[in-house]
Amino acid sequence: MKFSQCARAAIVATINHLTSHSNWLVVPSASAHTGIVFVHKRAFTIFGNGIKTVDLFTPLGDPSQLAFEIHRIAENHGLIAVTAEMTDCPILAEAVEEFMIFEEAQE
């Protein structure tokens, strides 16, 4: 399912907040089917610790250049997962599951 730009931003912000103690984060992606990818935090280290959700988006809601670069670095180093299950991270899997339950309840 492809998310709207607004929904994608909300998903990224919510999951990244819930998984602040995980080694994985969600990054917006124009090339992924759902519009989001799961990236290991090691792909972020070159950019420092101060990255916020707003830094991952352009003012129009598209993935920012920073998000593109993080995604590219993660792909080049095998630090990307297409699904939460591929991360083998229970924190991230639970956060995504909670979001999907909420999303289904809204439909």
- The domain limits of the chain are 5-106
Contact (Cβ atoms closer than 8 angstroms) between residue 95 and residue 15: yes
Looking at residue 89, its pLDDT comes to 85
Which residue is it, tokens 């593109």? Answer: 68
Task: Write down the pTM of the prediction.
Answer: 0.79
> Could you give phi then psi for residue 26, rounded to 5 degrees?
-105, 135
pLDDT at 102 over 50: no
- The H or E element that residue 9 is part of is helix 5-18
Position 22: which residue type?
Answer: S
Q: What is the pLDDT of residues 86-96, one digit of tens each?
A: 888 888 888 77
pLDDT band at 105 (very low <50, low <70, confident <90, very high): very low
